[in-house]
Structure 1
Amino acid sequence: MKILVTGSAGFIAGYLVEELLKAGHTVIGIDNYSKYGPVEKSYDKNPNYHFTEGDVKDTELMKELIEDCDQVIAIAAMIGGITYFHTYAYDLLAENERIMASTFDAAIWAHEHNHLQKIDVLSSSMVYESTTQYPTREGEQLKCAPPLSTYGFQKLAVEYFAKGAWEQYKLPYTIIRPFNCVGTGEQRAKNEKEIMSGNVKLAMSHVVPDIIQKVYKGQDPLHILGDGNQIRHYTYGGDLARGIRLCVESEKATNEDFNLSTPVSTTVLELSKMIWEKINGEKEFRYVSDKPFEYDVQKRVPSVEKAKEVLGFEANTSLSDTLDIVIPWVKKQMDLGNI
C-alpha cells in the first residue's frame, strides 16, 4: 500500500513511518519542519520512503503527493503539551483548521479522480475533555458537553471534517484518538514558550520529558502542576504506531473511531515518583504543587475494548519499560543541548 503521512517529521510520525515501512508499505512524507526544524530519522534513506519538505496548506502540492496514494494519514498540526495549547489558543484553532481543510480538499479530490481509498485522521483524547463518564467509550464525544479548550474543540472539529467528507463526498475515514503518547523524539520546539517550573526552565511542556529534565537537574523538592492526582494513560509510541497501522490496514476500521491507549491509569504523582526513583534511587521523594493550568483535565480514562475487539489491538508496553527507554534518551538530548 502507498500511504501519504502528513507531519512525517513529527514525534508520533517518527514511530508510525518506521512501523509502516517495516510492514512493507511505501510511505510518502510531507513536513515543513515548523516545530523542531530539520531532523534526521532512521528511515530517511529507506528506498520506500519519499520525503517532501513542504506545507500541507499548499493544496496543489498535496494533490501531487496524494495522486497515486491508497490512503492518507493526517497527522500534521500545531500540537504540544499543556503550556503549548494555553499559549497558542487562537493559532492552534486557526492554523489547524487550515491544515485540515487543505488535507481534506486534496483527499476528496484524489478519492474522486484517482484511487484514494480512505483518510485516517489523528484526533485526541481531549475531545472527551468535558466528559463525566469513565471509562470513556467511543461515541461519548457526541453526548458530553463540547471541549472547553480551543485545542480540544479543534480536535473535535477534525472528526467532523471526516464525517462531513463522508456524508457529502463518500470519502471513507477512520478516526484515531491517541492517549498521552510517550517515547523518544521530542525536542525543544522552535516556537515553544519557555516557562519556569520551580528553578528549572522548561521548553517542551509534555509531562514525562519535563519531569525527567527536572529530576536530572537536581530539583528537590520536585515541582508538579496541581495536586498530582490527575489521571492519565501513558501509551508507548511504538504501541500507538502499531495501533494506527492496524487502523490503516483493517477493512473493519472503515468509518469507525478508536481510542488507542494503554488500559493502565497512572496519576501524575505516581509517574513523578517512578521517574524520581529510576534516577535518584532510594533518595527521599519530595514534591510541591504549583498552580495548575486552566484546562488541566483531571481525569482521562479511555475504554479500550473496541480497539481490542475490532482491530485486535492492545497497548502492552508498561510505563516502567517505556521510561527505561525514554529516560536515557532525554538525558542524552540534555547533554547535546537539544532540550
Structure 2
Amino acid sequence: MKILVTGSAGFIGFHLASRLLARGDEVIGLDNFNDYYAVELKEARHRQLTASPSYRGVRLDLSDRAGVEDLFRREQPEVVVNLAAQAGVRYSLDHPHTYVDSNLVGFVNVLEGCRHHGVKHLVYASSSSVYGLNTHLPFSVHDRVDHPISLYAATKKANELMAHTYSHLYRLPTTGLRFFTVYGPWGRPDMALFKFTRAILAGEPIDVYNHGQMQRDFTYVGDIVTSVMRVIDHPATPDARWSSDQPDPATSSAPYRLYNVGNHQPVELLDLIRTLEEALGKKAELKLLPLQPGDVLSTFADVDNLVRDLGVQPATPLVSGLGRFVEWYRDFYSAGPGERR
C-alpha cells in the first residue's frame, strides 16, 4: 500500500515507517521537524528512513492547509496514519496555541485530505491522557472521558470527536489509538525515562513527582507498532453493538473504532527507577517533588477490545524493553551522557 505517516521523524512514527518499509509498503513521511525537543534526534531518525527507496520525506506542518491539500492531491495515499501532534502535558500549560495549531487545525486538515481523496482508512494517535479525572481502573474505551485535566488531553479527546463526525458524515473509516506511556529505543527526550537515564549517567538528581507515588502502564514501542500495523490492515466498520438507547463511547453506527494500546501491567514509578538503575549499573539520586498540574496518578489499560477484535496484545516485559532502550542510548550518545541532546 501507499501509506502517509505524519510525524515520521518522531518516536513512534519512525518505528512505524521502518516496519512498513520492511514489509514492502510505500511510505510518504511528513514531519515539520520542530524544536520541541532536539532536532538532531529527528534528523537522525529521518536519515535512517531515507535509506529506503520506498520512502519519501516531506517537510511540512499540518497546520499549513494549502500544503496539506497539495500533498494529498499529489500523493493520493490509500491509508493515513496521523501521529504528528504537539505532545506533552506540562508543555501545554504554557504553550496552548501550539496545541490548537497542530492538534486541532492540523487534524482537520488531515480529515479533509482523507475525505476528498478517497483514503480507505485513517488511523490516528489519541492518548491515555483523555481519561483525565477518571479513577476507575483499568481504563476502558467504554468509559466516558469528559473531564480532561490538560489542554493536551482535551485536544486528543477533540480528535476522537472530530474523527467520529467524519466517519458518520462521509463514511470515512477512522480508528483512534489511545497510547499508554510509550518507551524504547529512539525515544523522546521529554519523557521521564529519557530524562532519568541522562541524569543518572551524568551523576545528577532526577525529579520524581508526587514523591514517586504514581503508576504508569509503560508500553514498549515495538508492541505499539505491531498494534498499529494490525489496525492499518483492518479498517473500522460500523459496530453491530451500537444502540442509540444506550450509547457506548466505544461503539458507533459509523465506521469508527477506539482502542487502548497499553501493556496492561502498570508499574510503580519507584519500581521503574530501580529497574533502570539495574540496567545502567548506577544508582539514582532522587529529588522528591509534589504532583505537577495536569498529571494523573495512575494509568492502566484495558485492552480487551484490542485482543478480541485484532488478536494483538502488548506484552514486552519492562526489564527487556528498558534493556533495549539503555543499549540504544549508550550507543547513540557514545560521545558522552547527553552531549547529543
TM-score (norm 1): 0.86
Match of 1:298 in 2: 297
Q: Which moved more, 1:285-294 or 1:49-58?
A: 285-294
Identical aligned residues as a percent = 24
Shift of 1:258: 0.7
Secondary structure at the aligned position of 1:250 is classed as: coil
1:118-157 matched pairs, under 5 angstroms: 118-140=121-143, 143-157=144-158
Change (3 A) 1:334 1:292: farther
Q: Aligned partners of 2:309, 2:24: CA distance in 1, in Å? A: 22
Residue type of the alignment partner of 1:76: A
Per-residue CA deviation, residues 163-191 of structure 1 (Å, 9 max, x unaligned), is: 1111222211111111111012246xxxx
1:247-262 matched pairs, under 5 angstroms: 247-251=231-235, 254-262=255-263
Q: Aligned partners of 2:87, 2:69: CA distance in 1, in Å? A: 24
Residue 215 (structure 1) aligned to one of 200, 207, 231? 200
Per-residue CA deviation, residues 256-286 of structure 1 (Å, 9 max, x unaligned), is: 11111111110111101111122236x6x66
Q: Aligned partners of 1:162, 1:74: CA distance in 2, in Å? A: 12
Change (3 A) 1:144 1:34: closer
Residue type of the alignment partner of 1:117: K
Per-residue CA deviation, residues 238-269 of structure 1 (Å, 9 max, x unaligned), is: 11011001111014675211111111110111
Native 8 Å contact 1:234 1:266 kept in 2: yes
Match of 2:6 in 1: 6
Change (3 A) 1:46 1:64: same
Q: Aligned partners of 2:90, 2:332: CA distance in 1, in Å? A: 21
Secondary structure at the aligned position of 1:227 is classed as: helix
Match of 2:217 in 1: 233
Match of 1:196 in 2: none
Q: Aligned partners of 1:79, 1:231: CA distance in 2, in Å? A: 20
Q: Aligned partners of 1:225, 1:335: CA distance in 2, in Å? A: 29
Residue 81 (structure 2) aligned to one of 40, 65, 73? 73
Native 8 Å contact 1:4 1:73 kept in 2: yes
Residue type of the alignment partner of 1:129: G
Match of 1:197 in 2: none
Kindly indicate whether residue 48 of structure 2 is the aligned counterpart of residue 42 of structure 1.
yes
Q: Which moved more, 1:11-20 or 1:64-73?
A: 64-73
1:152-301 matched pairs, under 5 angstroms: 152-186=153-187, 204-219=189-204, 222-251=206-235, 254-280=255-281, 287-301=286-300
TM-score (norm 2): 0.85
Q: Which moved more, 1:320-329 or 1:61-70?
A: 61-70
| Count of residue pairs the alignment pairs up | 313
Question: Any runs of at least 4 consecutive aligned residues in structure 1 with deviations exceeding 6 A, and if so which?
Answer: none
Residue 54 (structure 1) aligned to one of 57, 60, 83? 60
Q: Aligned partners of 1:104, 1:144: CA distance in 2, in Å? A: 22
Per-residue CA deviation, residues 37-79 of structure 1 (Å, 9 max, x unaligned), is: 3333423121221211222223333234334211111111111
Q: Aligned partners of 2:147, 2:23: CA distance in 1, in Å? A: 37
Residue type of the alignment partner of 1:165: Y
Q: Aligned partners of 1:209, 1:65: CA distance in 2, in Å? A: 34
Per-residue CA deviation, residues 278-312 of structure 1 (Å, 9 max, x unaligned), is: 2236x6x6634113311111011110111111111
Q: Aligned partners of 1:99, 1:86: CA distance in 2, in Å? A: 20
Match of 1:199 in 2: none
Native 8 Å contact 1:59 1:103 kept in 2: no
Native 8 Å contact 2:178 2:260 kept in 1: yes
Native 8 Å contact 1:213 1:331 kept in 2: no
Uncovered stretches (5+) of structure 1, i.e. residues with no partner: 188-203
Match of 1:325 in 2: 324
Q: Aligned partners of 1:303, 1:109: CA distance in 2, in Å? A: 35
Native 8 Å contact 1:100 1:158 kept in 2: yes
Per-residue CA deviation, residues 119-160 of structure 1 (Å, 9 max, x unaligned), is: 1111111111121211111131xx243202100000000101
Native 8 Å contact 1:123 1:178 kept in 2: yes
